[in-house]
Amino acid sequence: HDDLDQDTVKAIMMIELSGRSTAQVIRKMRGLPELVKLHTTNGAWDLVAEIHTATLSEFDEVLRKVREVDGILNSETSLLLSSL
């Protein structure tokens, strides 16, 4: 498992998009350096984003920026606490 950056705040965010906004949302999300990976997925959510920040306040700022992106209907974010 990965102990090198255990102080990094890591999270997974599931994102639900509206209509045909996928390309626009992906472009905006790629502009956030804290968003280290972005995946399409199946099921209730449309995208899964992996977010890494140095602090919880930076993490809070990233969440605020994501909420401002047009085309995102809903999201659910889980902090990754331990790697097993």
pLDDT at residue 82, rounded to an integer: 84
- For residue 5, what pLDDT band results from cuts at 50, 70 and 90? low
- For domain 9-79, the question of CATH label 3.30.70.920 is answered with yes
d(Cα 19, Cα 5) in Å, to the nearest integer? 38
The pLDDT assigned to 83 comes to 80
SS percent in the chain: helix, strand, coil, step 5? 25, 35, 40
Name 52's bridge partners. 10
Stronger pLDDT, 63 or 19, i.e. the higher one? 63
> For residue 64, what are the contacts with CB-CB under 8 A and spacing of at least 6?
none
Task: Check: CB of residue 12 under 8 Å from CB of residue 79.
Answer: no
Quick one: pLDDT at residue 20? 83
- pTM of the full predicted structure? 0.85
Q: Render pLDDT for 43-74 as a digit per residue (tens, 0 to 9).
A: 999 999 999 999 999 999 999 999 899 999 99
**Domain residue ranges of the chain, discontinuous segments joined by +:** 9-79
